[in-house]
A and B are shown apart, each in its own frame.
Chain A
Amino acid sequence: MAVPYAEKMAQSQKEISISDFFAKNRQILGFDNPSKALLVSVKEAVDNSLDACEEAGIFPSIFVGLEKVGDKDRFRMTVRDNGPGIVKKQIPNVFGRLLYGSRFHAIRQSRGQQGIGISSVVLYSQLTTGKAALITSKIGEDYPCHQMEVHINTKTNRPQIENPQVVLWDHPHGTEISVELEGRYQKNKKQSVMEYLRATAIVNPHVEIIFKGPDDEVHTFERVIELLPETANECKPHPHGIELGVLKNMLKYTEARKLSSFLINEFVRVSPRGARELLDTAGIDEKRKPNRLQLEDIQSLFDKIQEMKFMSPPTDCLSPIGDMLIRKGLRKEIDSKFAYTVTRDPSVFRGTPFQVEAGIVYGGDLPTGESVKILRFGNRVPLLYQQGGCVITHAIERINWRPYGLEQRGGKGIPVGPAVILVHIASTNVPFTSESKEAIADVDEIMDEIGRALMDCGRRVRSHINKKKKLKKVSEKYDIIREILPEISKKSSSMVGKPEPLLDPIITKIMNVHVFDSGVVYHESGEGDQKQKITEVTIKYQNYTNRERKMRIHVKVPDALIQGIYPETHVRKKGLIEWDVGPIQPARSQRLGFSILGLDKDDYDDVEIYYSRLPGEVIGADPL
């Protein structure tokens, strides 16, 4: 009797190692082509370095070097950080083993999530050049610096080490990876190493990056702020954010002995009462051992979890960049006239907390006839590819930008105008569309939050544009009353041979407007610990109408110590100072002002003025 065919097949059926799989499917990790591969390699190495530094509370200073090797499309990439370093024993695991990392099990916002990143670079380098990665790491001033060559055994997914040695390194601590790989270097393109580093610098204003390109040009992205992002807390999963497979695994490996304590201890927002209720409705005894549950029971438990209501997950495991810092980053890298940023309150999709931050830059030297540039970020990492398939792009396209002063064909699609739009999604689990983490999936809750943030940005752009238009109009009127009208008077008087008439009443008729002007001056006083940062704000109201006026003026103030408010007849409200002003005679003015203590230079530069009870045209302020 013949051997059944299945037996034959069984001989060739064996486990394919993950390394082997990725070796054959490199596009899954984003190494589709040489130029993208080079960029992705830099990105993975930099992300790794940033995460390591921040976790250790170190201001990241990162060196990125690219060197051409030979005539072919081959480069040596060196990325060095000043992070905490890696202990000798772990070096091979971190760089030579796929799916090995410290963050895979933690529910917390971080750049790398799957631990697939840096080892895939080592693998890619090995596949394209046959060379091992050279790793150098030092964990402290008084410790030896270890150096070794690492490569991956693709059959076993295990690292192999060659030439381990102790070397001298003139850095107190940190890690350096140096690999040779096939790649193509593109300069001045949207998807280039330079643009990636620039984008990284925008959302990480606490980072310093020195980039030395193949042309030996050195570009430094400077640190703008001496403040580390708050480390996000680790937190347990929310029941609504869990998938069936993960639930199954958690049940299998939990240390809890009873199902009820499993639910209470391994998840957030599950109270003892909630656990009991859940198990009751699922018809499972709460005293059962979690690892003894049958598949039907797990399915039933999973189904009931979806039906039950739980409190939203806590959001302190998120670490937004903060609107002020994004603004600083944008201002540093993009030269423009106007920047506005907003950080939304945290929100939740499928049990996963997330937070949207958005910013818009407008005017200046930005090109007017082109589509706006979109800067997308997921957990502080720039997303450079698959723009068209990303929820951020879709949210931008859904908004009608025309009322906000940007052009848009048919009120849909990416708007056109001198603007850059930035969107950052922070989440414990950013829902990327694929493992290469290039685009974020269309999740309704995220889409809506982005929409709200962008509309806020849009409104601010509109009011900026309107203000500019009005200011132009008012400056033309100043030209009339200061330059032209006196000349008209002089010329006509001399032609008719009569004395010049008084022009004041005509001036108020020509202006017929209320003008608010504001000025911000930053200065410092004292030295060292006594140093005071003072931002002085002045506001001037001018009555260019032909009647006396009374009004209420409201000025938005930041959350900081405010002093020296004048005139003293004012009212403090939350985030506002209010004055009742007047009566102010025609052609007269009134000055107001205050000082803000403790803010950095440029933290407060746009004075928001509102008015009430003021009829007619007003320039420089908005109605409340």
Chain B
Amino acid sequence: MAKKQKFKENQEAQFRLKKIAEYIYGQLRNEEVPHLEVSSRTKNNIVLSKDHKVWVYGSDQVTRSAKDLGGATNILRSLYTVNFIDEMINSGKSSTLREMYYISEGWEKAKFPSQDESNRLAEDLEIITKCMREDFKLRPEEDGARVIGDVTIEEMNRKGLKKKINCKDDVGDSGYGIPYNVEKEKLKFKNVNAKFIIAIETGGMFDRLAENGFDEGHNAILVHLKGQPARSTRRFIKRLHHYSKLPVVLFTDGDPWSYRIYASVAYGAIKTAHISEYLATPEAIYLGITPSDIINYDLPNDKLTDQDVNALKSELSDPRFSSSTWKSEIKLQLKIKKKSEQQALAKYGLDYVTETYLPEKLQEINII
């Protein structure tokens, strides 16, 4: 049954990809200059989807036309990529995005100049076909994000066997590694025994909480974001939240780049707004470090750089940060011109974060 479903999904992806080739061919037949329309992927073109509470692309479209060299090359690359994915699905294989980039070496005029370009094109194809790149059998390199906490997962391993893993008892110090595919056919949640999920930006802080036994002491599930989180990490958090109904909080550094990590977890990233509905957890709460924390906890800090200031200013016009709390916090930070890392809390000792800071912050939002 499951296998049949999968086959159907693949067929759908192949069908939609082929539509692109038909679309271009039709234009040539009609003596039209070939062109493709894609949603404009800028912060000016993301809007709130009412029913899903996440940010998705608006109606602005960009046209890639064969009238200019860039557009023409893009169309040719799209055709090669579509053809490649189609053949790959037919032969029952998959590839990494990096492999696809290297395969394009043989595409002559359609060769990608960098992997950024091939990644972006894969995203374009997602937007056009309304499929996910997983449907195209394309996967990212690795993510390595980790989980520690009392949650039991049933994972389909390489041999096609189901295997149960408890992320507290069955893992080592580094926790459970999130695979690139966290969809139902690969991964199922079996049992969760916790009060909340806490997603942590840096590995250092994740290890600190694990070492201090924060997961057991407060009944928490720790998820390491590893900087800007991979799609699978965000999808994992969303599915876990959906399954367990547990609150999700984010604990990051206190700088503009960390706020963007929060925004991508909670509302979706600008680059991948077409799949925000799959990836974003709008109920996620930002715990800290906030600019107010820098003052209230008198944290060691660094001066904002010019890039920091520009990033903060750009966030003021980002619809994802339009709430009054965010606006006043960002304005406060621009005023004090300071930023602090989460590990700055060590100023008060190694236990301070688990004994004092997090409990205080979690009480504020009534999670403990």
A-side interface residues toward B, CB under 8 Å? 476-477, 479-480, 483-485, 487-489, 491-493, 495-496, 498, 501, 503, 505-506, 509-510
Contact = CB atoms under 8 A, between A and B. Distances in A.
27 contacts: A477-B69, A480-B68, A480-B69, A483-B109, A484-B73, A484-B76, A484-B109, A485-B66, A487-B76, A488-B66, A491-B76, A491-B80, A492-B24, A492-B28, A493-B25, A495-B18, A495-B83, A496-B18, A498-B25, A501-B29, A506-B28, A506-B31, A506-B33, A506-B66, A509-B31, A509-B32, A509-B33
A492 B34 CA distance: 11
Contacts of B76: 484, 487-488, 491
* Candidate in A485, A491, A496 with the most chain B CB atoms within 10 angstroms: A491
B353 to A, nearest CB: 51
Contacts of A510: 33, 66-67
B265 interface: no
Given A480-B68, A503-B28, A509-B31, 12 more contacts: A479-B69, A487-B110, A488-B66, A488-B72, A492-B24, A495-B21, A495-B83, A496-B21, A505-B31, A506-B28, A506-B33, A510-B67
A501 to B, nearest CB: 4
Nearest to B79: A491
Contact of A501 (B28, B68, B110): B28
Contact of A496 (B22, B32, B68, B109): B22
B25 A484 contact: no
Given A480-B72, A484-B66, A510-B66, A492 B31 contact: no
A477 B109 CA distance: 14
A485 B72 contact: yes
B294 interface: no
Interface string B45-86: 000000000000000000000111100110110011011001
Contacts of A479: 69
A496 B18 CA distance: 8
Contact of B109 (A487, A498, A509): A487
Contact of B79 (A480, A488, A501): A488
**Nearest 7 CB-CB pairings of A with B:** A495-B21, A492-B25, A505-B31, A484-B72, A476-B69, A491-B79, A501-B28
Contact of B24 (A476, A480, A483, A488): A488
Interface in B120-164: none
Interface string B71-110: 0110110011011001000000000000000000000011
Contacts, number: 74
Contacts of A498: 25
A545 to B, nearest CB: 14
Contact of B69 (A484, A492, A505): A484
A448 to B, nearest CB: 44
Contacts of A495: 18, 21, 25, 79, 82-83, 86
Interface in B307-342: none
Contacts of A488: 24, 28, 34, 66, 72, 75-76, 79
A15 B8 CA distance: 115
Given A480-B66, A484-B76, A506-B32, A492 B21 contact: yes
Nearest to A507: B33
Nearest to B80: A491
Contacts of A493: 25
Contacts of A491: 21, 76, 79-80, 83
Contact of A476 (B22, B34, B68, B75): B68
Nearest to B22: A496
Contacts of B25: 492-493, 495-496, 498, 501
* Candidate in A479, A487, A492, A501 with the most chain B CB atoms within 10 angstroms: A492
Nearest to B34: A488
Contacts of A483: 109
A492 B79 contact: yes
A367 B296 CA distance: 55
Interface string B28-46: 1101111000000000000
A487 B82 CA distance: 14
Contacts of B18: 495-496
A492 to B, nearest CB: 4
B179 to A, nearest CB: 32
A506 B75 CA distance: 15
A586 to B, nearest CB: 12
A458 B347 CA distance: 65
A495 B86 CA distance: 10
A489 B28 contact: yes
A7 to B, nearest CB: 79
Contacts of A506: 28, 31-34, 66
Nearest to A475: B69
A395 to B, nearest CB: 40
Contacts of B83: 491, 495
A113 B72 CA distance: 66
Contacts of A505: 31
Nearest to A479: B69
Contacts of B28: 488-489, 492, 501, 503, 506
A16 B164 CA distance: 114
A487 B111 CA distance: 13
